[in-house]
Amino acid sequence: MIQPAKPIVLIVEDETLIRMLAVDAFLEEGFDVLEAEHAAEALQVHADAAEIHVLFTDVNMPGALNGIDLAERLKAAAPTRHLIITSALPILRPVDHLPATFVSKPYDAGVVSRTARAFLAA
């Protein structure tokens, strides 16, 4: 019997411990996980990846692009991709144009990964 492919999530978080917690939660939920420390690295991971079903990104991170910029680019590349955006700070830029779920930090990584799983089941 052929096993269905696991969904793939790209986790973009510059804080290592937070990224590790998110990675563990998504792995426990049955995802294959790709990870990046900042948006520029995430764009390279995206370019090298066959497919990414869910983007889970922090807003504020080092570099020229923030998480919203990244989400806009990756959503444009794959309109069916699910987006989860997180931040500990208020978002100063409107994101109404992005069909994304916003999760405020601190968050329960297990709840976030189960939310992503529910997106894919719908």
For residue 59, pLDDT beyond 60:
yes
| pLDDT at position 2 over 60 | no
Per-residue pLDDT at 62: 94
Domain positions in the chain are 8-103
Residue 97: predicted pLDDT: 73
Residue 59's φ and ψ, nearest 5 degrees, are -85, -55
Q: What is the pLDDT of residue 102?
A: 85
pLDDT, position 1: 55
Helix axes 39-48, 67-77, angle to 10 degrees: 20
- The string of pLDDT tens digits covering residues 101-110 is 888 888 898 8
Where is pLDDT greater, at 29 or 4? 29
pTM value is 0.90
CATH level 3 topology of 8-103? Rossmann fold (3.40.50)
| % of the chain with per-residue pLDDT over 70 | 92
Q: What is the pLDDT of residues 4-15, one digit of tens each?
A: 689 999 999 999
**Strands lying side by side in the sheet with 54-58:** 32-36, 8-12, 54-58, 82-87, 100-104
pLDDT at 95 over 80: no
Q: CA triplet 93, 72, 12: central angle to 5 degrees?
A: 90
